[in-house]
Structure formats: C-alpha cells, structure tokens
Amino acid sequence: MSAELHYTDTGGSGEAVVLVHAIGCDSHMWDALEAALAPAHRIVRVDLRGHGASPVVAGPCSLEDLAGDVADVLHRLRLPRAHWVGLSLGGMLGLAFALAHPQRLGRLVLANTTAGYGPEGRALWQARARAVEDGGMKAIVDLAMERYFSAEFRARQVERVASVAARFLMTPPQGYIAACAAIADLDYADRLGAIRAPTLVIAGGADVATPAAMSESLARGIGDARLAVIPGAAHLSAVEDPAAFNALVSGFLSAQ
C-alpha cells in the first residue's frame, strides 16, 4: 500500500533534485542544502511515510515501497527525471530508486549510508524497533543524538542538537518502527553494479553508524562513483558540517 507523502516544491525551470531524509528526521533536515541549491535547481523535499507531516500507514513496508512513495511524488509533479540526494535511510532508498527506475534518475548522492549491514544488521534494527515499542521515541533519543552528531558538535551546538532531538521525538513511533523493519531487510550489495547513474558517496569521518568503510564499499561497487569524506562529521553530516556537505553536492550536481 502506497502513501501520499507531504512534500515541498520550490518550482522553477532548473533540473529537479529530490532530497530524502534520514530515519527519525524530516524534510527540515535539508534547510541549508535547499538554500544552497535552489538558485540553480528545482528542489523537492519529502517527508517519508510515518515521518514529519506524512501519514502513518498501517502494516509493514519495504525499502522499495518507501522509494515508490517518492517516485509517486515525482509523478504527481510531472517530473520524468530527477537527481536524488539521500542521507542514511534516504540513501538506501536512493539505491532502491536507482535499481527500480534507472531511466528516471539523473545523478545520485548517497550520504552516510550503506548497501547492507551484514549478518548482525537485522538483529540491530529489530532491537531498535523493540526499544521504541516498549518506551516510545524517548527511549532512544539520547542514543540517536550520540550517533547523529560528534561529541564535539554536541558540546558546541547544544541548541542545534536540541532542535533535532525535538523533531526526532515528534516522529510517530509506528512510523519509526516500520522504517526499522524495512531497513532490517537491506541487502543491495550484490546489485550495486547495476547502478549506472553518476554517483557521489559522502562519508563522515566520525560516523560510527555507517563508518567510512561502508561508503568505500558503495563507491567500489557502483561503476561511476566517487567518494568524499567530511572529516570530523558524524552521521548527520549535512547538519553537522553544512558548508562542506553543500559544497560537495553543489559541485557534483553542476559538474559537466
């Protein structure tokens, strides 16, 4: 069953770029990147199902379902082709979209993400879902902020971290749990060679959630890919170091 996502669209005649957020976040994660890209591009930001202003959909969903929701937004906007910028879960959905809709994809940015977590991945995400089932979003908010941001950033940017934490706590538990179940099935490692889109893989040098080695595997597996590492940034690199992140994405999308 598909979901009708909440989205924003800057309009304009520039090439379309869809921005897809991390689990437990929403489209506001991309405020700085939209400001950087909007002068030259048409920016579409989505809230994934069960996140932000998008509805919770009863029942399980797959990564392909979540990517299909975004494809439906592009169809409603009559956008036959778009660049995709995804971070964490948004990057996993970028892989799903690239494999299912290669003709609709321009360039692909995969930030702080992976094609698979290995044998322990399913248990990890099932445990995260159980924690939320038992205690709500507040049960994991501290853990999430520790993974989202480096210790230095958390100490220096207390208000910024508090703002992200507040939005995290607003995520419906059912939406988070459904996304955990979808991520538990992540296994695209053997299909990366089928992705033909020019790809930028961005890693955070201090990311413990998806370490740089995972990004290196992505870049090796995709034929036309390059890797960039943002030193000192943890999992939400686009929020922790927007200047570096935005410069990388802007340069990649505007390259000839």
Give the pLDDT band of residue 121 (cuts 50, 70, 90): confident
Quick one: CA dihedral 58, 59, 65, 67, positive or negative? positive
Q: Does the pLDDT of residue 1 top 80, yes or no?
A: no
Q: Residue 255's pLDDT is what?
A: 86
Identify the domain containing residue 151 by its residue range.
7-254
Q: Is residue 98 part of a domain?
A: yes
- Helix (H) / strand (E) containing 84: strand 82-87
- The candidate with the shortest Cα–Cα distance to 214, out of 120, 128, 112, 125, is 112
pTM score, whole prediction: 0.97
Q: Measured between alpha carbons, how far is 229 from 245 in angstroms, rounded to an integer?
A: 10
Q: Is residue 2 part of a domain?
A: no
Cβ atoms of 216 and 242 closer than 8 Å: no
Q: Residue 120's pLDDT is what?
A: 86
How does pLDDT run across 72-112, given as a tens digit for each residue?
999 999 999 999 999 999 999 999 999 999 999 999 999 99
Give the pLDDT band of residue 2 (cuts 50, 70, 90): confident
Q: Does the pLDDT of residue 256 top 80, yes or no?
A: no
How does pLDDT run across 163-194, given as a tens digit for each residue?
999 999 999 999 999 999 999 999 999 999 99
Mean pLDDT of 195-224: 97
The residues facing 84 across adjacent strands are 18, 108
Backbone angles phi, psi at 252, to 5 degrees: -70, -45
More confident residue, 121 or 238: 238
Looking at the structure of the chain, the number of domains it has is 1
Q: Is residue 204 part of a domain?
A: yes
Q: Does the pLDDT of residue 59 top 90, yes or no?
A: no
Mean pLDDT of 126-135: 96
Q: Residue 118's pLDDT is what?
A: 85
CATH number at residue 105: 3.40.50.1820
Q: Is residue 48 part of a domain?
A: yes
Q: Is residue 97 part of a domain?
A: yes
Q: Is residue 1 part of a domain?
A: no
Quick one: CA dihedral 60, 80, 24, 152, positive or negative? positive
Q: Measured between alpha carbons, how far is 208 from 150 in angstroms, rounded to an integer?
A: 9
Q: Measured between alpha carbons, how far is 39 from 26 in angstroms, rounded to an integer?
A: 22
Q: In terms of DSSP bridges, do strands 41-46 and 82-87 run parallel, antiparallel, or are they unpaired?
A: unpaired
How does pLDDT run across 229-243, given as a tens digit for each residue?
999 999 999 999 999
Q: Measured between alpha carbons, how far is 75 from 7 in angstroms, rounded to an integer?
A: 13
Stated length of the chain? 256
